[in-house]
Amino acid sequence: MHVINIHMETEVLKRIIESQRKEIGHKFTKEKIVAREGLGLAKKYLSAPNVLVILGVRRSGKSIFSLLLAQSLQEKVAYINFVDERLISLKTDDLDRVLQAFYELYGEVDFVILDEIQQVHGWELFANRLRRTKKVIVTGSDSTLLSGELATHLTGRHLDFTLFPFSFREMSGLKQSVYSTEEIALARHELEKYLEGSGFPEFGLFGAEIVREIYGDIVTKDCIQRHGIKEEKSFRELAGYVVSNFSNEFSYSKLTKIAGLKDQHTTKNYVNYLQEAYLLAVIERYSHKLKQHIIAPKKAYCIDHGFCNFVSFSISKNHGRVYENAVCVELLRKKSLDHRLEVYYWKDHQHNEVDFVVKKGSKVEQLIQVCYNPLDESTKERETKPLVRAAIELRCKNLLVITSDYEKTEKKGKYKIQYTPLWKWLLKN
C-alpha cells in the first residue's frame, strides 16, 4: 500500500508540473516577453556549479527571467512553482518525488528551476544536492532566503541576483542614444506614461488593480501570515502610512505612535518585514559615525512607483516625489549589480538636505538632487545650496540635479553642477 501511495503522489506531481508548464508556455506564446536586463550577468553566474538565487518582489517576473535564462543556455529544463494550492502540503521528504516526476516526464534534465521554494521548509539540502550535477535556479520573494540554513549549506556555492519590476529602459524599449526632437518628445511621453503607471509586468494587462492586488498579497501573505503578526490592524496601518509617505523622513518612535504599537522594537521588526518582502527600500542618513546611522531618521521608498500611484493615500499628485522614488529604485538596481555601492541621503544640523549620496568603498562617488522644475530661481537655490554644502563636507565634485526636462551644466562657486532630465538619466544610467 505504501508503494502505491508514493506512485500516486508522483503522478499527482507530474500533472501539476505539466499544467504549470502549459500555463507558462501560454505566456510565452500569447504575451509580449520583454528581454530583461541582467540576463548576461546571470548567465555568467551559472557558468560554475553554483545555485543562482533570484530574489525580488512577487510578480516582478522571476519565473519568466529564469526560463529566458534557461532558453539562452539551450539546455533541457525542468520547472516547478511551489506557490500552488495543490502543493500546500508538500514536505521536505516529497522533494525527491518532485525530482522523480521530472525524470519520468522529461528524462534526464540539465537545468532545474525551483520557483518560490521558500514555501517548503528545509529545501536547502535538496538544492545543494541538485547543484552537483545540474544547473539550479532558486527564486524567492523573501530577502532572508539567503540567510540561515541556505548560508550554512551553500557557503561559497550560491550567487544572488535581485530582479526589480520593469525599468524605464525595459518598459519603453528606447535606446540609450536619443538625439532628434522627435525621439526626445517620444522619450518624454514614454516616461510620463511609465511614471503614471507601474513597472510590474502584468500592469499592461490588468492596470491599477493588479498593483493593489500585489500590495495586498505582500502585506497579508508575505508579512502577516509569514511572520504570524497578531497586531494585524496596526501592521496594515503602519504599511499604509509608510507607503503614503514615501521619500519623507520617518523615525521608529513616530511610527510606533501612529500605528498604536507598544514599543519601537516591534515597529522596527514590522518595517524590516516590509523590506524583506521587497515592498519598501529604507535609506539611511549618511554619517561618518555608526551611531548616527542607527539613531537618525530614515527614508522609505516603494520598490515600484505603482504603489505610490495606486496604493498611497496621498491626495495630490507630487511629481517631484515620484521622480525621487524612480531615481532611488534605479540606484538600487545598480547596487544589485555591484554590491560595493551604497546609497544614502544627507542632511546637516541646519536641515540642508541632499536626496542621494552614492558611495563606493570609502569614497563618495556622486551627490544627486531631484528637482522636477529648477527654472524658478528660488527653487534652484533651495536645491543647489545643500548640494554644495554636502560637496564640501563629503569631498565630492560629481554633482547632479535630475529634472523634468532642464539640461545644462552650471557653476556654483567652484563647483560644476550637471542638470539632466530624468528620461535621459534613466536611459543612460
Does residue 302 belong to any structural domain of this protein? yes
Per-residue pLDDT, 151: 59
Give, as one character, the DSSP assignment of residue 407. -
pLDDT for residue 120: 87
Sequential DSSP letters for 143-155: GGGGSTHHHHHST
Residue 190 lies in a domain: no
* 169-202 pLDDT per residue, tens: 999 999 877 778 899 999 999 999 999 999 999 9
The confidence score (pLDDT) of residue 4 equals 39
Q: How many C-beta neighbours within 10 Å does residue 152 have?
A: 11
Q: What is the pLDDT of residue 3?
A: 42
Question: Is there a contact between 252 and 264 (Cβ–Cβ < 8 Å)?
Answer: yes
- Strands 399-403 and 353-360, sheet pairing: unpaired
Please check whether residues 298 and 333 belong to one and the same domain: no
Looking at the structure of the chain, the number of domains it has is: 3
The answer on 277 and 299 residing in a single domain is yes
If asked whether residues 82 and 137 sit together in one domain, one would say yes
Q: Is 169 domain-assigned?
A: no
Residues 269 and 412 in one domain: no
User: How many other CB atoms are there within 10 angstroms of residue 248's CB atom?
Assistant: 11
Contact 304, 198 (CB under 8 A): yes
Supply the pLDDT for residue 172: 94
- If asked whether residues 402 and 295 sit together in one domain, one would say no
pLDDT of residue 105: 96
Determine the pLDDT at residue 7: 42
Q: How far is CA 421 from CA 37, 240, 262, 374, 428, in A?
A: 22, 30, 45, 11, 11
The whole-angstrom separation of Cα 70 and Cα 113 is 9
Amino acid at 376: D
Task: Give the per-residue pLDDT at 315.
Answer: 55
Please check whether residues 58 and 129 belong to one and the same domain.
Answer: yes
Report, as ranges of residue numbers, the positions in the chain whose pLDDT lies below 70: 1-8, 148-156, 290-291, 293, 314-317, 429
Q: Is 191 part of a structural domain of the chain?
A: no
Q: Are residues 15 and 136 in the same domain?
A: yes
Q: What angle do CA 283, 240, 85 make, to 5 degrees?
A: 100
Same domain as 345, residue 324: yes
- CATH number of the domain within which 65 lies: 3.40.50.300
Residue 217 is predicted with a pLDDT of 97
Query: Where is the domain boundary, 139, 162, 185?
Result: 162
Range of the domain at 224: 197-315
Q: Does some domain include residue 23? A: yes
Residues whose CB is less than 8 angstroms from the CB of residue 316 and which lie 6 or more positions away in sequence, other chains included: none
- Number of other CB atoms surrounding residue 99 within 10 Å: 18
Domain-embedded: residue 182? no
